[in-house]
């Protein structure tokens, strides 16, 4: 079978798509320009995973979804994302490509906080979006998938926190692909101005076990001087979705960007999580977990590049592989010349639950500066029989002992997720995937 890599949508389609949404001229131009580039650009080349014949181009581009009157009208699988007793105040629910429900605490909006879908943001906050959209973090022309993303972006949210505003309540986004064939080309743009603080958590979910479609996600997080962004995510696309997800952060002086990613897709996935620590004293903790099952192939890259003096970078990856799943974990620490006093630590651990599963952890340190500290640890192993023996010697069955060891193995990352309900939901997904 040859794979058709011809682009699925042409200029006139994009012009019309953009016009229907009353997008500003610059956005339409950005899309058209991206489409031209997508023709000639190549696919990204994730280390040790061949994606040449993965489906990134065959999909249905748009679908609408019904609005809902209240969060309690959602199906149970979506309600799992929140504490029903204590519903979130700040939430956007995107159902296919319709905003089904959105609300933001009034006090926050009075302070100038913006939390809205990307199309509304293009209308109401055009200058801000234009200032940051695919400028400082992700560029259109990086490769075919970023260009395709820019050309066909069909959903997403914009988060903006003004200078000196610290938000305690988390902002939550749910991207629900209800239509099994529709693609999600989602763009999340988070801008934290000087000395601001926010927590954002997103959930992706779909149910297309058979139907083939695509998720092409670009997330840009900008943390200005002294800003603090805590970013959590649970990705849960079904087996039919091929996912490219690029989450990128840029941190300026004394900024902090923390990531806690639960990467629970059932389909083939390429995930890049890259943070640029530009400013002196900037910090990033990149935490990610995954459970691979079935025949899925996944490639996870976590990279932190440091320009800032005394910047601090920590990467923690944990993966459990069962059945015939294959995963590559690349942890990359890059310290640029001049980033004196920088520290970079990375740990990647993979737990193999079956003979047929494959896991590979590649820690990489690239250092162009003398005055730095760095370290890495990587391991691929099986459940330790001595641990099982110890637990079983207390009366715990083998099955339960294995469950404890596996959850325990993932816990250091799961515990980082900022919203209790999302943490619980991630635990449930893990439970379903490992048993």
Residue 30 to residue 72: CA distance in whole angstroms? 39
* Measured CA distances, 71 to 75, 78, 82, 240 (Å): 9, 9, 9, 27
User: Shortest distance, CB of residue 213 to other proteins, whole angstroms?
Assistant: 35
Structure tokens given for 243: 């996912």
Q: Looking at beta carbons only, is 62 or 404 nearer to other proteins? A: 404
Give min distance, CB of 318 to other proteins, in A: 9
Q: How far is the CB of 291 from other proteins (least distance, A)?
A: 14
Considering the complex, state which of residue 151 and residue 401 has its C-beta at the smaller distance from other proteins: 401
Contact between 227 and 254 under an 8 Å Cβ cutoff? The reply is: no
Nearest to 90 by CA among 3, 10, 190, 167: 167
Q: Smallest distance, Å, CB 327 to other proteins? A: 19
Q: State in angstroms the smallest separation of the CB of 84 from other proteins.
A: 21
Q: Which is nearer to other proteins, 1 or 386 (CB)?
A: 386
Closer CB to other proteins, 374 or 388, in the complex:
388
* Burial bucket for residue 168 (CB in 10 Å: 0-12, 13-18, 19+): exposed
Smallest gap from residue 13 Cβ to other proteins (A): 49
What letter does residue 324 receive in the DSSP assignment? T
In the bound state with other proteins, the residue whose beta carbon lies nearer, of 245 and 391, is 391
Say how far apart CA 244 and CA 149 lie, in whole Å.
Answer: 10
Residues 6+ apart with CB under 8 A from 227: 161, 192, 193, 194, 195, 196, 197, 251, 252, 255, 256
Rounding to the nearest 10 degrees, give the CA dihedral for residues 133, 136, 229, 153. 30
Structure tokens at 116: 């809205």
Question: Residue with structure tokens 């003096």?
Answer: 309
Which is closer to other proteins, CB of 208 or CB of 317? 317
Cα–Cα distance between 316 and 351 in angstroms, integer?
Answer: 14
The minimum distance between CB 315 and other proteins, in angstroms, equals: 18
What is the distance of C-alpha 303 from the center of its chain?
Answer: 13
**Contacting positions for other proteins (CB under 8 A):** 384-387, 389-398, 400-401, 404-405, 407-412
Q: Which is nearer to other proteins, 68 or 405 (CB)?
A: 405
């Amino acid at each position: 079978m040859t794979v058709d890599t011809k682009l699925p949508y042409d200029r006139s389609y994009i012009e019309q798509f953009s016009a229907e949404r009353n997008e500003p001229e610059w956005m339409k131009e950005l899309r058209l320009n991206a489409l031209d580039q997508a023709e000639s650009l190549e696919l990204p080349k994730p280390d040790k995973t061949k994606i040449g014949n993965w489906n990134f181009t065959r999909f249905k581009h748009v679908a609408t979804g019904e609005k809902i009157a209240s969060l309690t009208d959602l199906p149970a699988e979506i309600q799992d994302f929140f504490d029903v007793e204590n519903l979130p105040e700040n939430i956007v629910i995107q159902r296919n490509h319709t905003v089904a429900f959105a609300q933001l605490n009034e006090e926050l909006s009075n302070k100038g906080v913006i939390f809205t879908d990307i199309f509304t943001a293009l209308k109401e906050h055009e200058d801000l979006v234009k200032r940051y959209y695919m400028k400082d973090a992700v560029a259109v022309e990086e490769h075919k998938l970023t260009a395709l993303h820019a050309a066909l972006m069909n959903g997403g949210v914009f988060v903006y926190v003004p200078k000196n505003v610290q938000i305690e309540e988390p902002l939550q986004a749910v991207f629900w692909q209800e239509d099994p064939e529709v693609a999600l080309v989602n763009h999340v743009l988070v801008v934290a101005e000087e000395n601001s603080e926010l927590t954002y958590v997103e959930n992706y979910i779909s149910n297309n076990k058979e139907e083939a479609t695509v998720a092409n996600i670009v997330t840009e997080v900008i943390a200005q001087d002294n800003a603090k962004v805590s970013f959590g995510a649970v990705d849960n696309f079904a087996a039919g979705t091929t996912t490219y997800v690029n989450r990128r952060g840029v941190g300026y002086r004394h900024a902090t960007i923390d990531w806690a990613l639960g990467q629970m897709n059932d389909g083939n996935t390429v995930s890049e999580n890259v943070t640029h620590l530009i400013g002196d004293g900037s910090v990033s903790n990149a935490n990610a977990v995954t459970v691979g099952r079935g025949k899925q192939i996944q490639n996870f890259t976590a990279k932190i590049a440091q320009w800032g003096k005394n910047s601090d970078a920590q990467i923690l990856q944990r993966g459990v592989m069962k059945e015939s799943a294959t995963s590559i974990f690349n942890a990359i620490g890059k310290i640029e010349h001049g980033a004196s006093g920088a520290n970079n630590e990375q740990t990647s651990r993979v737990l193999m639950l079956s003979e047929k599963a494959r896991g590979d952890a590649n820690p990489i340190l690239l250092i162009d500066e003398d005055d730095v500290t760095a370290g890495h640890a990587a391991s691929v192993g099986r459940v330790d029989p001595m641990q099982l023996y110890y637990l079983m010697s207390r009366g715990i069955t083998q099955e339960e002992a294995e469950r404890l060891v596996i959850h325990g193995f993932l816990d250091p990352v799961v515990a980082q997720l900022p919203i209790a309900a999302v943490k619980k939901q991630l635990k449930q997904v893990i439970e379903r995937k490992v048993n």
